[in-house]
Amino acid sequence: MNEITIPLGIYLHWPFCEARCPYCDFNAYATTDFDVDEWSRCYGIELDRLARETAERTCQTVFFGGGTPSLMPPELVASVLDRIDRNWGFANDAEITLEANPSSSDAERFAGYAAAGVNRLSIGIQSLRNTDLVRLGRLHSTCEARRAVETAASHFARLSIDLMFGRQNQTLVEWRQELTETIQLGTEHLSLYQLTVESGTMFGARLAADRLPGLPDQNLAVDLHAAAMEICGQNGLDRYEISNFARPGAQCRHNLLYWRGHDYLGIGPGAHGRMTIDGQRAATETILAPAEWLSAVSERGTGESRRSWLSPDEQASEYLMMSLRLAEGADRLRLRQLTSHVPNQEQLDLLCELGQIEIANERLVATTGGSLVLNSLISALLSPPIRQPATI
């Protein structure tokens, strides 16, 4: 595929939140004190720099992530989108997503984002139970979550909702009811994430001190996941990625760029990117700390901290790891064009026998059982062939 025809997206990281959630391990900082003009200027410098390296490309998707991007003033969002348009131009059907929290959502702000060019909103509800919202450190109430969805629906044709399961003391009956209520709010897309406790977070410290009771065991976690598959399917939301469900045609096209191994530019503190330049694919990273990122952009003209050129084997491994998250799976022809070493055929045959993977129309597809152990499945596919001891 010629690099000019490779789909291109832009991820822009906004690192600030009103408060840091106890389960969060993202690059986020609790403050509402920021210089809007300085952030606008530095985002512009980074966009200009990357545009010089990706000439003749057209931007197909933009994703404002964080942090809490709904803390961004609409005029800042507008300045970023204007700079992108001037540097690359937008595809006619460009998807422009902004993440929002109910606690920083109001009609005037949503109207400003829509006027700036945002056409898809992703709202982080996480729960429709007030007790659980408090446990999760969220600043909004159930009523505010419902109101945010209603307000968003009046400004954006495309709407996604984030919900978390596997929470403390959550039962299967309660989860089924809560998920049904969420779908009834009206949305074309759902992201359903199991609560994971990461080291370095407040929840991680509590778990280590045995102060995080009520987390589900493995059997309940499997049942919660199965219930999500069932209820979403019954309501016309098909699972197209391991944690994402959508109505036909409503998949998040920006995230599909990641999972299908296409190009995306990472801008802002802690943002990662993948870009193809002169036929070579690079992985990029940026400085984590917001103040340091701003200083580097101002003084050196770049917030990039690392650029690594990926070998064909590395590209194949990364593509396999990402694409097996999708219901459509991985394209075997594309893998063979990159390398002859991935995946390991011996392991592939064994995993097919075990019912964890299927081969359909020259694609590798993780089965329902395989998707529940996806990390170990991918490790097996990427591991060296098992050699039998030589016999005399």
For the four alpha carbons of 306, 312, 314 and 318, in that order, the dihedral sign comes to positive
pLDDT tens for each residue of 278-337:
999 999 999 999 999 999 999 999 999 999 999 999 999 999 999 999 999 999 999 999
Q: In this predicted structure, what is the pLDDT of residue 38?
A: 98
Q: What is the percent of the chain where pLDDT is above 90?
A: 87
pLDDT tens for each residue of 194-251:
999 999 999 999 999 999 999 999 999 999 999 999 999 999 999 999 999 999 999 9
CA 366 – CA 326 distance, rounded (Å): 8
Q: In this predicted structure, what is the pLDDT of residue 385?
A: 56
CA 220 – CA 207 distance, rounded (Å): 19
Predicted confidence band at 1 (pLDDT cuts at 50, 70, 90)?
low
pLDDT tens for each residue of 20-72:
999 999 999 999 999 999 999 999 999 999 999 998 899 999 999 999 999 99
CA 59 – CA 384 distance, rounded (Å): 38
pLDDT at 391 over 50: no
Which whole-number Å values give the CA distances from 1 to 27, 51, 62, 181, in the listed order? 33, 20, 22, 44
Q: In this predicted structure, what is the pLDDT of residue 105?
A: 84
Nearest to 363 by CA among 338, 385, 333: 333
Look up residue 131 and give its two tokens. 């007790």
Mean pLDDT of the chain: 94
Residues 265-289 have a mean pLDDT of: 97
CA 82 – CA 85 distance, rounded (Å): 5
Angle between helices 74-87 and 36-53 (to 10 degrees): 20
